[in-house]
Amino acid sequence: MKKLSAFKINLFGILLLLTAIIITLVLSFNKLTKKSFYSESGTENVQGINANVQITRDDFGVPHIEASVEGDMYFALGYMHARDRLWQMDISRRVAQGRLSEIFGKDLLKYDVLFRTIGIDNYAESFYHDLSDKSREILKSYCDGVNAFIDANNKKLPLEFDVLNYKPEPWKPEHSIMIIRLMGWELNLSWYTDFTFGEIINKFGFDRAKDFFPNYPEDAPFIVKTDKKSKPSDSTKKVSADNLEKNYSKLAELGKDYYDLARGYRRLFNIEGTHIGSNAWVVSGKKSENRKPLLANDPHLVLSAPSKWYEVVLSNTQTGIKTCGFSIAGIPGIAIGCNNFISWGITNLMNDDADFYILKKDSADLTKYVYKGVSYVPDSTVEGIKIKDIKDENFITIRHTKLGPVISDLESTGFKSNHGFRVNRDELLTFRWTGFEFSDEIRCFYDLNNAKNWNDFKNAIKNFNLPASNFVYSDVEGNIGYHAAGKVPLRKNMVNEFSGMYPSNGEVEWSGYVNFDDLPQAFNPKEEYIITANNKPDRDLKYYISNLYEPPYRAERIEMLLKARNNFTAEEFKLIQNDVYSLQAKEFCAYLFDAYRDSLKSSQEEREVIKLLKNWDYEMKAFNPAAMIFAEFEIYLYRNLFESKLGKELFENYVFLKNIPVRTVSKLLRESSSWLFDITGSENKIEKRNEVLRKSLKDALESIKAGSGENDFRKWRWGDVHKVLIRHPLGSVPALSQMVNIGPDEISGNGTTIANAEYSFFSALEKKDFECYLGASMRFIVDMSDLSSYQSVLPSGQSGQPQHSNYKDQNRLWLHGEYKTVLRDNERIKSSNRKVILLIPS
């Protein structure tokens, strides 16, 4: 008894000590965090402005900036970006510069090597000098605002700077350009597809590999409604299958290090797939209750804290133009929003904007490479990388060809034993990317923010490149429109959509870019609506854009709902944005039901599950057992079709692409006869398909039982496994995770519903982890009949400061499909007793 009592006393003492430590940590965290909770009202004297600037915040922290001088308005935007999102801005530029190991240590060195090699920072510096005078003027004012805030608050910086023990450097104009390029790189899909396609070609040959990468279905919705289809006009020479297979084999070998590093970077920032899409649609006044257009947009990006978007209202009292909507911290201007005259939204065009090139080294001099028959010495630079807690810099050599950086010399460690090419290879790998081409997105945003009509809008987006995007439009006159924007490469000698993914040594060459006026577009279409959901833009394309489009389910569902009625309101648009009806589930389940027509081939449990699924409304709701069963059935269908043929590692790479296997399985189920169904001994092609479907359901049921410990399928809930955790970059640190991450919370939907809630197929199979990592990064609805306000919501909040009242105050709204109203009228905001900061020239 004495020993037991002593044990209890010791245990009590340990618990008491742990409690004291936890309390101390929480108090320290709160102290560190709250020291950077800056005053939200009052007067602040600053250098760099010409006149007073008034900044009024609403209850959600959205700043309304009112300035009489345009430059002062951009100064104040920089000032507020830094005030609310300084560390987010700093970490983004550090990624682009290849300077993460400077603050995190040697473990992130490999990603610094990756980004130093890509050279986003060097391209940004060179592009700055080619910007328009207006863009450079805006950037100067913006940088002055950022730096004024840093200088005034250098001793009370946000929490992350204290945790990592460093201070931010001054903000420069090229840093804003870097962030634009970085977003373009993160949203690129094509090189992951190229590598995986190459690996599959190596395994099966070109003809069979095509079965893994289907074309966009011809019966699916296109953005621009046309009835005919043109063949690409630039098909002049056929690339042989032999050359395709040889080059893909070389790509898989030469590019493996690059692929692994790029995938590792995405995992580091919780980007678990390429299934990155968005929704944007607009209806004309003929389909709205108020007889003016309604526009909606919800970009699907990685869900992170703080949010990707920073909401703001910019009011220029001199011109009378008031622009409001969503900016990106680090970039001046509003990327998505509305002004006095127009509104606009954006989705990803899914452009194939990068190609790999395999270049031979000069046999007479291996330090040179050959391009178009001419021998060149690569441009070469040596760069030093600082590493936290290590005295000496580590030096790497970076080489550039006429096309882009050499990436076949990358190693997972980031270091080579010498400064020469790897001598055991007679070829090198480089790539061409539209991000290496000049464009002036700063001018684009400026002109968009001041546009008054369709022609102004088109002239603005001519300056937009990266990533190539679909822009939807509406105006107060009642017009609606759509125009693609960005650099779409014209490829010589291209014969089909597969040769667009071809690693070239000169056969498939870029000859320029599609003229802006020839890009897909529509103005006041007869349908009275326009829908973009990463679907193919036009059936009648005379050139190749991509074969990377999303499965058509979201576009089909939106079109189904918009066709169903007229007299739409903003409230009904909210319901559409939060719709979780799965057309994919309806399609796949139809084949599953067919596979179970013969009751002798099923157990009692399977028959009851099929009955449950037949009575299901195909809504992927968190409380629904049918939604959980379908999600498990889907991932086992992919495993049973592909893993035994591809092998585990290649299977993981394939399902990482997300949109491609979903489209592939849809095509396989329709056609029934593919060799990919050959997993059993059946000779009948339909029965082969049915056997795979039945096995996938059986595997799913056993998996759920094992994972949940519950045998009664009626008690299963999709939300028990499908949760969203909005992660902060420091959220993987156990002591900080609960303080900086948001969630986890149950969430409805999946990757093919309008309310996108994406998860990793491979993690779901291997770890029973359906964590939603990607979804609506914001929701935005504007009614052109009343521009005094608009409706919006963020997944987290406006502030980047953990523990701040605006850090996660919109999260519950976002989870439950609710919205906040953002007022555009400054007088109404002031009269409602909001917080006001007055910047005064010092």
Share of the chain above pLDDT 70, in %: 88
pLDDT over 50 at 232, yes or no? no
- Give the pLDDT band of residue 417 (cuts 50, 70, 90): very low
**Cα(176)–Cα(74) distance, rounded to whole angstroms?**
13
- Give the pLDDT band of residue 31 (cuts 50, 70, 90): low
Sequence letter at residue 121:
D
Query: Which phi and psi angles does 504 have, rounded to 5°?
Result: -95, 150
| Residue 804 is assigned to a structural domain of this protein | no
Q: What pLDDT, in 10s, does the model give residues 80-94? A: 999 999 999 999 999
CA 405 distance to own-chain centroid: 24
pLDDT of residue 504: 60
- From residue 570, how far is each of 334, 531, 567, 783, 785 by CA, in Å? 22, 16, 10, 7, 11
Helices 441-449/133-152 angle, 10° precision: 90
**Cα(585)–Cα(624) distance, rounded to whole angstroms?**
13
**Cα(521)–Cα(534) distance, rounded to whole angstroms?**
15
Are β-strands 789-793 and 779-783 bridged in parallel, bridged antiparallel, or unpaired? Answer: antiparallel
Residue for token digits 């074309």?
Answer: 215
> What is the distance in angstroms between the CA of the first residue and the CA of the last residue of the chain?
75
pLDDT of residue 205: 87
Contact 485, 293 (CB under 8 A): no
User: Quick one: residue 741, left, alpha or beta (phi over 0 = left, psi -120 to 50 = alpha)?
Assistant: beta
**Cα(396)–Cα(645) distance, rounded to whole angstroms?**
39
216: tokens are 């966009």
Quick count: other Cβ atoms within 10 Å of Cβ 594? Answer: 13
Helices 659-671/583-595 angle, 10° precision: 40
Provide the 3-class DSSP secondary structure of residue 835. strand
Query: Which phi and psi angles does 811 have, rounded to 5°?
Result: -60, -45
520-538: average pLDDT: 97
Q: What pLDDT, in 10s, does the model give residues 269-314? A: 877 766 568 999 999 999 999 999 999 999 999 999 999 999 999 9
Quick count: other Cβ atoms within 10 Å of Cβ 423? Answer: 9
| Residue 661 is assigned to a structural domain of this protein | yes
Contact 509, 491 (CB under 8 A): yes
Query: Which phi and psi angles does 373 have, rounded to 5°?
Result: 80, 0
Query: Which phi and psi angles does 576 have, rounded to 5°?
Result: -65, -45
201-218: average pLDDT: 90
pLDDT of residue 530: 98
pLDDT of residue 778: 98
| Residue 666 is assigned to a structural domain of this protein | yes
786: tokens are 């009343």
- Give the pLDDT band of residue 419 (cuts 50, 70, 90): very low
Q: Which residues contact 413 (CB under 8 A, 6 or more apart)?
A: 109, 110
pLDDT of residue 3: 47
Q: What pLDDT, in 10s, does the model give residues 256-277? A: 889 889 999 988 887 776 656 8
| Residue 702 is assigned to a structural domain of this protein | yes
pLDDT of residue 704: 97
Residue for token digits 């007088």?
Answer: 827
652: tokens are 């993981």
- Give the pLDDT band of residue 98 (cuts 50, 70, 90): very high
Please tell me the total count of domains within the chain.
1
Q: Which residue has the higher pLDDT, 825 or 607?
A: 607
**Cα(574)–Cα(342) distance, rounded to whole angstroms?**
20
pLDDT of residue 7: 40
What HEC string does 566-580 produce? CCECHHHHHHHHCCC
pLDDT of residue 421: 44
Greatest CA separation for the chain: 92
824: tokens are 């555009």
**Cα(46)–Cα(63) distance, rounded to whole angstroms?**
18
Strand order through the sheet with 835-841:
42-46, 835-841, 53-57, 63-67, 310-316, 321-328, 331-338, 342-348, 469-475, 480-485, 521-523
Q: Which residues contact 23 (CB under 8 A, 6 or more apart)?
A: none
Least confident piece of the model among 246-260, 496-510, 669-683:
496-510
Contact 503, 194 (CB under 8 A): yes
Contact 689, 671 (CB under 8 A): no
| Residue 691 is assigned to a structural domain of this protein | yes
pLDDT of residue 509: 82
- From residue 651, how far is each of 4, 192, 402, 701, 761 by CA, in Å? 54, 13, 35, 22, 10
Least confident piece of the model among 34-38, 57-61, 612-616, 838-842:
34-38
Domain limits at 682?
Answer: 583-618+625-716
pLDDT over 60 at 70, yes or no? yes
Are β-strands 342-348 and 63-67 bridged in parallel, bridged antiparallel, or unpaired? Answer: unpaired
Assessment of whether the complete model's pTM goes beyond 0.85: yes
Residue for token digits 């969203």?
Answer: 724
- Give the pLDDT band of residue 824 (cuts 50, 70, 90): confident
Q: How many helices (H) and strands (E) does the chain have?
A: 27, 29
**Cα(102)–Cα(387) distance, rounded to whole angstroms?**
4
- Give the pLDDT band of residue 26 (cuts 50, 70, 90): low
Contact 585, 558 (CB under 8 A): no
Give the chain's radius of gyration (CA, Å): 27
pLDDT of residue 83: 97
- From residue 70, how far is each of 49, 294, 431, 566 by CA, in Å? 10, 29, 40, 41
Query: Which phi and psi angles does 667 have, rounded to 5°?
Result: -70, -40
544-567: average pLDDT: 95
161-179: average pLDDT: 97
pLDDT over 90 at 418, yes or no? no
pLDDT of residue 517: 97
**Cα(565)–Cα(690) distance, rounded to whole angstroms?**
38
Helices 583-595/625-638 angle, 10° precision: 70
Share of the chain above pLDDT 90, in %: 74
pLDDT over 90 at 415, yes or no? no
- Give the pLDDT band of residue 35 (cuts 50, 70, 90): low
pLDDT, averaged across the chain: 90
Q: Which residues contact 629 (CB under 8 A, 6 or more apart)?
A: 609, 612, 613, 697, 700, 701, 704, 713, 716
| Residue 213 is assigned to a structural domain of this protein | no
**Cα(641)–Cα(306) distance, rounded to whole angstroms?**
39
Contact 581, 612 (CB under 8 A): no
Q: Where are the beta strands (DSSP E) in 70-171?
A: none
